[in-house]
Amino acid sequence: MRAATYEDLLKVPDHLVAEILEGELYATPRPAVSHAVAASVLGSELGNPFQQGRGGPGGWWIRA
């Protein structure tokens, strides 16, 4: 089996999120808008106290 290439990524439809891991192409559905909004809101609420240490412990790494 050949390793996936950047050209393979370009062929993935826009409604999917694609990545190449260890030569293999993975494509998954793009998160719904409501999911993306919820992740953004949670990140902003948790970021100050837990990541930045403003009113909380700090030191965490929070990624959406």
* Pair (2, 15) in one structural domain: yes
* Pair (49, 61) in one structural domain: yes
Q: Are 45 and 64 in contact (CB under 8 A)?
A: no
Distances (CA, A) of 38 to 28, 48, 60: 19, 17, 19
pLDDT in tens, the chain (64 residues): 899 999 999 999 999 999 999 999 999 998 899 998 998 899 889 988 998 899 999 999 877 6
Total of domains in the chain: 2
* Pair (64, 45) in one structural domain: yes
* Pair (26, 38) in one structural domain: no
State which residues form the domain around 55: 32-64
**pTM for the whole thing?**
0.54
* Pair (26, 44) in one structural domain: no
* Pair (19, 40) in one structural domain: no
* Pair (25, 38) in one structural domain: no
